[in-house]
Chain A
Amino acid sequence: MATNGYGRLIKDGLWNNNQALVALLGLCPLLAVTNSAVNGLGLGLATLVVITLSNATVSLIRNWVRPEVRLPVFVLVIASFVTAVELSMNAWFYELYKILGIFIPLIVTNCAIIGRAEAFASKNPLGRSLVDGLAMGIGFTLVLTVLGAVREIIGLGTIFAQADLMFGDIASGLKVSLSEDFKGMLLAILPPGAFIGLGFMISIKNIIDKRLASSRKAAAATAAEPEPTAV
């Protein structure tokens, strides 16, 4: 696979340059709304839509915007999409909209989005910007959902509670309670739980990266060993 290919973009967005775990951008919504899996998923999807559309738009207008005014223009573009997403959620996911509250309009200030607009979309053609936005958005959504799920399991002993807010009444059966006795550890739901949970997720990612790197090194060493005899 070429290093500049789409595969690389997707891998960067989901893992290597994950906006939440590596760049540590967008922490405000990340820490504030991830008290349940559904809330995390909801805000993650909203962010995904905004970052994809804003990346595409910024990429399209990149040759007509003078560098002096680029940041206000980017913010205006992002704000327009956020407003559209907010109104749509108000119309179709009213309960979820009420729970997420101020954090939907606050997507405008999510540094992950303006960061991608500035660092990537303003320098790359439409196709690549679109894929980058999509990959970054999915990576961000995954972290939000996993963190929300972990905090919900530890804090309340359930997972996917209130899933009907997002997927309609069919999904209300999605809720799983781990055990009748376990009433949950409240700390995980409270703000400190978000910081501790995110810290553990980052450290787990670093452990996995380290393991991969060392096994790759070992593989390279064993592959390189027979070489001297061949030469």
Chain B
Amino acid sequence: MQFATITSPHTDRPNSVTVTMLWVIIALLPGAVAMAWYFGWGVIIHMLLASAAAVAAEAFVLKLRARPVMPAISDLSAVVTALLLAVALPPLLPWWLTVLGIVFAIVVAKQLYGGIGYNPFNPAMIGYVLLLVSYPVEMTTWLPPIMLNQNPLDFTQTLSAIFVGTLPPGLDWDALSAATPLDEMRNQLNQNRMISEIRQSPLWGDFGGLGWEWVGNWYLLGGAILLYKRIISWHIPVSMLGAVLVMAMLFHFLDQESHPFGLFHIFSGGTLLGAFFIATDPVTAATTKKGQLIYGACIGLITYVIRRWGGYPDAVAFAVLLMNMAAPMIDYYTQPRVFGQRDAGDD
């Protein structure tokens, strides 16, 4: 009797890019649905719009470059980029800004560098930073979460706000919009208010902003799915969140009334989304284990530094892009020793 001899690798199923990207999308869904729950239809509209624009832009550039279109479209990487950008955008952003951001992300940040696997910078964050730097007013016009929103818009009203720019009669943008928790905390602190005083406002939940912290929880669940499926390793999220927490707690205990509790920074802004979905992008992050720890910790550090002393309320996007730049150097200096290789000092 003869048995078929199968050589390694003994994996049960090819772990293709499409499957990986599909899992990222699945893991992103809880957080995205939670955002849609708290901030209205705009989140879903932007997700669909960005995905369509991303696929169209990718197909167009691949045609120009005379590369096969279908394999690149069906690997879903453009859709992941689009969804990551869409959940970072304000829910009532005008439609052409979303399209501009995602087209720039796909065409310039991804395809001009050679397409998937060759981009040195995270495309979604390039698109986000382009919009944030170019259109600061539109990009900071956020909605309050549903329980604080006096005038929630229904589906058609949201559509007309995004595509035509008209609000229902009797409403204006100032009445509708609200600052994000990070923005609010920063403004209040700049007016020399104390934290215990600031937190009297109904805007706050247990750690971060009301509603916002639950979105964070759902992203955390998504991150757990990615960790369980081994799509990401723990090194980057843990070191990034750890660095934010250590920095925030250090300053919190130095001066409790002007530095919010550490978990505020974890559950506000893009920290959790960034830690699990954006900083872990396998193309643009560091690849060695030691390098990933350094990479994540530096993102956390830069995020806290810009939030605390910089010009913008949130900084995950800037921190990720800055460390994208440093990732090749980190990899260079953290190459693991090949088994049997001697240290320089051994002789």
Q: B108, A190: Cβ atoms under 8 Å? A: no
What's the least CB distance linking B110 to chain A, in Å? Answer: 14
**8 Å CB contacts to B: which residues of A185-223?**
185-187, 190, 196
User: CB within 8 Å of A: which residues of B?
Assistant: 100, 108, 130, 133-136
Given contacts A186-B133, A187-B133, A190-B133, 9 further A-B contacts (CB under 8 A): A185-B100, A185-B134, A185-B135, A186-B134, A186-B135, A186-B136, A187-B130, A187-B134, A196-B108
User: CB within 8 Å of B: which residues of A?
Assistant: 185-187, 190, 196
Tell me how many residue pairs across A and B have CB atoms closer than 8 Å.
Answer: 12
Bound Cα distance A68, B208 (Å): 69
Q: Which residues of A contact B134 (CB under 8 A)?
A: 185-187
Bound Cα distance A187, B135 (Å): 9
Report the 6 A-B pairs with minimum CB-CB distance, sorted nearest first. Answer: A186-B134, A187-B134, A185-B134, A187-B133, A187-B130, A186-B133
Chain A CB within 10 Å, residue with most, of B133, B134, B135: B134
Majority secondary structure, B binding face: helix
Majority secondary structure, A binding face: helix
Name which residue of chain A comes closest to B108, CB basis. Answer: A196
Q: Which residues of A contact B136 (CB under 8 A)?
A: 186
Bound Cα distance A187, B136 (Å): 11
What's the least CB distance linking A103 to chain B, in Å? Answer: 23
Q: Which residues of A contact B130 (CB under 8 A)?
A: 187
12 residue pairs of the A-B complex, CB under 8 angstroms, read: A185-B100, A185-B134, A185-B135, A186-B133, A186-B134, A186-B135, A186-B136, A187-B130, A187-B133, A187-B134, A190-B133, A196-B108
Bound Cα distance A187, B131 (Å): 8
Q: Which residues of B contact A185 (CB under 8 A)?
A: 100, 134-135
Q: Which residues of B contact A196 (CB under 8 A)?
A: 108
Bound Cα distance A196, B113 (Å): 13
What's the least CB distance linking B198 to chain A, in Å? Answer: 31
Bound Cα distance A187, B101 (Å): 12
Bound Cα distance A190, B108 (Å): 17
Name which residue of chain B comes closest to A155, CB basis. Answer: B134
Bound Cα distance A185, B133 (Å): 9
Name which residue of chain B comes closest to A203, CB basis. Answer: B112
What's the least CB distance linking A184 to chain B, in Å? Answer: 8
